[in-house]
Amino acid sequence: MSSQPVLFVPGTKKSAIAAAPANNAWPVEDIVALFDLPFNDLLFRAQQIHREHFDPSEVELATLLSIKTGGCPEDCGYCPQAARYDTGVTAQKILPLDTVLQAAREAKAHGATRFCMGAAWREPKDRDLEQVEEMVREVKALGLETCATLGMLGAGQAERLKDAGLDYYNHNLDTAPEFYENIITTRDYQNRIDTLGRVRGAGIKVCCGGIVGMGESRLQRAGLIAQLANMDPYPESVPVNHLVQVEGTPLHGLDPLDPLEFVRTIAVARITMPTARVRLSAGRRQMGEAVQALCFLAGANSIFYGDKLLTTGNPEVEEDQALLAKLGLHAKHTLEQAKCGD
Ligand code: SAM
Ligand code: DTB
Ligand code: SF4
């Protein structure tokens, strides 16, 4: 892990200005102290760390596709795809390979470098996995990075995905352990950590983050970041989702989170996980351009790109292209461009 600068920030607590411990262990109090920094100091520090590890004008574009929508047996309180909530999402069968490949080709043509396939499963059955393996092989052959989010994985399943060419597996911790039971009761935190261990063990890169704006406290937001930052190693990719409130789900109607607190969460993720891709994920459509611009300043360098997330809306492709151009940001190169040194 590279060293981090020790900044002198007048009037801030000592713990907030200390460099990260060499073993990257982040006590939750130190993370709270980052959240508590004056906004400009926090963003300055995040931007400085961001620049040490990344081209500050580069953003990764990842396109999502729901390959199996709705009818999920789990009770995640935020999720429109849980069968038990009346959200208007109808259960569908797994998409045919051709449909997935068509979406992947379009994503690539629009400039995406990563293609993420999501399924509303508690866990994949072995026969489902065969179909996903085929999708991964074919999407990878198009020259895209591949990512899948299929729920919990059992023994041997991560290895099968790795053999098919999967680059990333997305499995979120979602929130702090102490808030978790308020949101999900059908699987526990340890189940998630076990799946992440299987993904890591198979040599697949870990994409793991959470959702903010679910009624958690700042301490609990810090608790989520502590769980992520203290993984050894921490995830290569960290999606920070802003809750998209969907009518029919138990979390619909909550007071929305202050947008600047969302920006702080991005900055804290950047500082505590300097080399991770911090992904500005769900909720961008509701955020507006100014808040997104602050998120990029705070160190976000990946977005979901395409007019749909899984079941809810995302900014239109043209809107995103205009925003990136306005901010002077450019898309991460495709694998071919990178190979040509373009
Ligand atoms: N079923 C699999 C699972 O739960 O791991 C994969 C799909 S699931 C929809 C992927 C992630 O999307 C969830 O872990 C959650 O973090 C995020 N998500 C789902 N609904 C959301 C919402 N309404 N707002 C923000 N993020 C959401
Ligand atoms: C992640 O952390 N966020 C994405 C992706 N991983 C799979 C999903 C967001 C889903 C938002 C609600 C929906 O569109 O259904
Ligand atoms: Fe099912 Fe995943 Fe939605 Fe939870 S988040 S209800 S597991 S699709």
Q: How many other C-beta atoms can be found within 10 angstroms of the C-beta atom of residue 98? A: 9
pLDDT value of position 333: 82
Rounded to two decimals, what is the model's pTM?
Answer: 0.93
Burial degree of 4 (CB within 10 A; 0-12, 13-18, 19+): middle
Q: What pairing do the DSSP bridges indicate for beta strands 277-280 and 237-242? A: parallel
**Distance between CA 34 and CA 95 in Å, rounded?**
44
Mutate to test the pocket of ligand 2, among 169, 305, 310, 311 (most ligand atoms within 8 A of CB): 310
DSSP 105-173: HHHHHTT--EEEEEE--SS--HHHHHHHHHHHHHHHHTT-EEEEE-S---TTHHHHHHHHT--EEE---
Per the CB < 8 A criterion, the answer to whether 229 and 198 are in contact is no
Please give the distance, rounded to the nearest whole angstrom, from the Cα atom of residue 22 to the centre of ligand 2. 33
Helix (H, G, I), strand (E, B) or coil at 293: helix
At 60 the pLDDT is 97
Helix, strand or coil for residue 303? strand
Phi then psi dihedrals of residue 175, to 5 deg: -155, -175
Q: Is 76 a catalytic residue?
A: yes
What pLDDT sits at residue 25?
Answer: 81
Residue type, 102: Q
Task: Work out whether the CA dihedral 35, 41, 45, 47 comes out positive or negative.
Answer: positive
For ligand 2, the distance from its centroid to the CA atom of residue 315, given in whole angstroms, is 14
CA dihedral sign of residues 338, 158, 62, 92: positive
Q: Is 310 in the pocket of ligand 1 (CB under 6 A)?
A: yes
Where would I find the H helices in the chain? 14-17, 28-35, 39-53, 97-109, 126-141, 157-164, 177-180, 189-201, 218-229, 259-272, 284-297, 317-327, 335-339
Pocket test for ligand 1, best of 69, 149, 150, 180 (most atoms within 8 A of CB): 149
pLDDT at 79: 98
Q: At 50, is the secondary structure helix, strand, or coil?
A: helix
Per-residue pLDDT in tens (0 to 9) along the chain, 342 residues: 333 333 333 333 333 344 444 455 899 999 999 999 999 999 999 999 999 999 999 999 999 999 999 999 999 999 999 999 999 999 999 999 999 999 999 999 999 999 999 999 999 999 999 999 999 999 999 999 999 999 999 999 999 999 999 999 999 999 999 999 999 999 999 999 999 999 999 999 999 999 999 999 999 999 999 999 999 999 999 999 999 999 999 999 999 999 999 999 999 999 999 999 999 999 999 999 999 999 999 999 999 999 999 999 999 999 999 999 999 999 998 656 666 544
Cα–Cα distance for residue pair 265/262, rounded to 1 Å: 5
pLDDT digits (tens, 9 = 90+) for 229-265: 999 999 999 999 999 999 999 999 999 999 999 999 9
Looking at residue 342, what is its pLDDT? 45
Residue 291: count other Cβ atoms within 10 Å of its Cβ. Answer: 17
Structure tokens at 213: 């704006």
- Judge contact between 316 and 256, C-beta under 8 A: no
Active-site residue, 340 included: no
Task: Please choose from 74, 92, 149 the residue to mutate so as to test ligand 2's pocket, defined by most ligand atoms within 8 A of CB.
Answer: 149
> Is residue 74 lining ligand 3, measured as CB closer than 6 Å?
yes
The pLDDT, as a whole number, for residue 336 is 64
C-alpha 195, offset from chain centre: 16
81 lines ligand 3 (CB under 6 A): yes
Bridge partners of residue 66, in order along the sequence: 118
Is 207 an active-site residue?
yes
The angle formed by the CA atoms of residues 66, 61 and 207, to the nearest 5 degrees, is 65
Ligand nearest to the CA of 184: 3
Q: Please indicate whether residue 72 is annotated as part of the active site.
A: yes
Q: Name the catalytic one among 72, 192, 208, 264.
A: 72
